[in-house]
Amino acid sequence: MKKLLIITQKVNATDPILGFFIRWIEEFSKHFSSVTVICLEKGECQLPANVRVLSLGKELGASRYHVLLRFIQGIWSERNEYDTVFVHMNPIYVIVGGFFWHMLGKKVSLWYTHKHVDFKLRLATKIADRIFTASKESFLLTSPKVLITGHGMDIIQFPLCVPPPVPLVLISVSRISATKNQKQIIEVLEALRQEPEYADSKLVIVGAPITSEDGVYQKEIVGYVQKRELSAHVTFVGPVVPKDIQKQHALAHVFINMSDTGSLDKAVLEAMLSGLIVITTNRAFRNILPAENFVDQKEATPQMLAQRIQTLHAQVPNPSIRDFVVKNHNLASLIPRLSKDMSQN
């Protein structure tokens, strides 16, 4: 069995955004004799015995200069401890380490799932031997190196939920940002509550701002909730670690996603696994979900979405929605596929 080097941003089971990657490392450890992980920041983690984690020191306040120096030192000092390299979501590491890795005959793979394309990504695409991505919408450059694999969802963490009693509960799980349109989701709740049988409906917003602009937007929507006297009906939960997302799903009936990024959103896939009623405007799901579960962003008025929620809530759940994720986005299938590709000469 070959030895793997993983480069990633964080190794921290309690991180609400990147905590899921712990499970990826665990699965990779089953397919390589040893796994060395170099991360920008290390936090809480318990990993198999054949995994070592080396931090570049961001959690200790390391400067960019020291991070770069430690990265170069790390990939050199560990050069005999890995045969192939897997870079997760950070093209800059492919650029910095690529020449060195190729000089030593190491195969370099990049996992990238985002609509953003810049010079760094273009250059990394030329350097890397393989690009893995979840869907064609998740990697917008054309290259014969690209392999579309689906996401890696931990199916075990998302058993089918039993719908809770009334009142109806909507849930949104994402970064709080104007691009995620949480204010529109609140307006959907308002429209839904105009119907007498849904007057007690509630909305749970899971997530937190990341940038300063996101923070301004959060203040805006919190102020809107207060102004509209919705505090008893809208709950801001804040960030939730990946292993606890399903617990939030279990308290809700409808997952609503108003993003239009075009990238295959993992939060939507997780809701599909949990068996929630899913409504999204994300065009990446246009040909995945049944027609009634997708709404074009241009047509997505609060009143229209409220009516769609009522219609779907009255229907029998569609098991094919969960089955699609199990078949196409299963971590237990993804990691062996990646490992096999990376292990080939």
Distance CA 144, CA 80 (A): 30
Is residue 306 within 8 Å of residue 192, measured between CB atoms? yes
Question: From CA 29, how far away is CA 35, in angstroms rounded?
Answer: 6
CA count, 13 A, side-chain hemisphere, 101: 29
pTM of the predicted model as reported, rounded to 2 decimal places: 0.92
Q: Which one, of 102, 89, 187, 68, lies nearest residue 133 by Cα?
A: 89
79-88 residue pLDDT tens: 999 999 999 9
> Quick one: pLDDT at residue 163?
87
Give pLDDT, residue 260.
74
Beta-bridge mates of residue 37: 6, 53
Residue pLDDT, tens place only, 49-92: 999 999 999 999 999 999 999 999 999 999 999 999 999 999 99
Measured CA to CA, the distance from residue 153 to residue 282 in angstroms comes to 19
Summarised one tens digit per residue, pLDDT across range 203-226 is: 999 999 999 999 999 999 999 999
The stretch 139-151 carries a mean pLDDT of 96
